[in-house]
Amino acid sequence: SHLVDRIAAGEVVERPASVVKELVENSLDAGASRIEVQVGGDGTQRLLVTDDGHGMTPDSMRLAIERHATSKLPGEDLLTIHSFGFRGEALPAIASVARFTLESRPPGTESGWRLQLDGGELLFDGPAGLAPGTRIAVEGLFARIPARAKFLKSPRTEISAIHDTLRRLAMAHPNTAFRLLHEGRRLLDVAAEAEPGVSGLARRVQALLADGADMVPVDFLRPDLQIGGLAGLPAASRATSEHQYLFVNGRPVKDRLLVGALRGAYAERLPAGRHAAAALFITLPTDEVDVNVHPAKTEVRFRDPARIRASLISAVRAALEAAGI
């Protein structure tokens, strides 16, 4: 029922940035090579996400706006840290608290299709012209839910949360092109990196971070734990904790344990309260990470936190020492 959707949405659709995260993750899941996000106002007025992914047929579009209608394999659940509690909840939850237009056209088909909903109510179900891929517009987010709108911060803060969300997703997917426009102004624009692995990642991090050039490669390899990426040089670092990009099994996370480990790694190299930039990717078996945390948070729980902490510290220190720092 729509009431159930709205309750689910109240828990998980916190702010425009959480909508952007869900829609862009879907675009990535659809194999998009180019993703564009357009934002109007503070993001509640208008969000438009366009991708060139594999698209949806009209039937799968109708299914996608029903609760728990995922097309993804059940096994994928265990591999990914999903910000929604259940598979297949994002689109109906978002659609229940906004005006929602879903347009899609699988590559190789003649034309596209459009579904238009308002507050979860289907208003239009018919053909539409668009390029191959998917385009989703979310307008008037929370307009009918003043209790939720009240929790939003200033437009500037909401836009910067969207910017941060997209920057983190762009960092985790160097081979995809991303663009973010706010009222037509370009906030982020990165081309797809052709090079795989750390060199592609390094170029992407450089494109996204102002001080990306002053970083050294991290390459820590154990049988069931891998830590790779880039660590900032402590000298002349103007970085804040905002410049620390941490990923677990490819997903952006903001985790206290990891942030603390990073601080530990630089303990003798940075004055207290100072930070170094970092883009670190931690890969470990899925049964070593607990994804059973609050759906709207990006924190993770490790089975062996002491080991993760110690490994991250030695990975970063080894990288700095190798660079003679």
Binding residues vs ligand ADP (CB under 6 A): 22, 26-27, 30, 51, 53-56, 60, 64, 69-72, 87-91, 134
By a kind-dependent CB cut-off of 5 to 8 A, residue 53 interacts, out of Mg ion, ligand ADP, none, with ligand ADP
State in angstroms the smallest separation of the CB of 83 from ligand ADP: 10
State in angstroms the smallest separation of the CB of 25 from ligand ADP: 7
State in angstroms the smallest separation of the CB of 166 from ligand ADP: 15
State in angstroms the smallest separation of the CB of 113 from Mg ion: 19
What is the distance between the alpha carbons of residues 149 and 142, in angstroms, rounded to a whole number? 6
Burial class of residue 194, CB neighbours in 10 A (0-12, 13-18, 19+): exposed
| Residue pair 17/43 in contact by the 8 Å Cβ criterion | yes
What is the distance between the alpha carbons of residues 236 and 122, in angstroms, rounded to a whole number? 55
State in angstroms the smallest separation of the CB of 88 from Mg ion: 7
What is the distance between the alpha carbons of residues 112 and 102, in angstroms, rounded to a whole number? 10
State in angstroms the smallest separation of the CB of 137 from ligand ADP: 12
State in angstroms the smallest separation of the CB of 10 from ligand ADP: 16
Task: Decide whether 107 or 196 has the Cβ nearer to ligand ADP.
Answer: 107
Task: Decide whether 87 or 144 has the Cβ nearer to Mg ion.
Answer: 87
Task: Decide whether 36 or 214 has the Cβ nearer to ligand ADP.
Answer: 36
Task: Decide whether 207 or 296 has the Cβ nearer to ligand ADP.
Answer: 296
Task: Decide whether 3 or 73 has the Cβ nearer to ligand ADP.
Answer: 73
Residue 247 in tokens: 């990923």
Task: Decide whether 5 or 193 has the Cβ nearer to ligand ADP.
Answer: 5
What is the distance between the alpha carbons of residues 24 and 178, in angstroms, rounded to a whole number? 10
Cβ-Cβ contacts under 8 Å for 101 (sequence gap 6 or more): 114, 115, 116, 117, 135, 136, 137, 139
State in angstroms the smallest separation of the CB of 104 from ligand ADP: 6
Task: Decide whether 54 or 307 has the Cβ nearer to Mg ion.
Answer: 54
What is the distance between the alpha carbons of residues 280 and 202, in angstroms, rounded to a whole number? 11
| Residue pair 99/118 in contact by the 8 Å Cβ criterion | yes
By a kind-dependent CB cut-off of 5 to 8 A, residue 157 interacts, out of Mg ion, ligand ADP, none, with none
Binding site for Mg ion (CB under 5 A): 26, 90
Task: Decide whether 181 or 270 has the Cβ nearer to ligand ADP.
Answer: 181
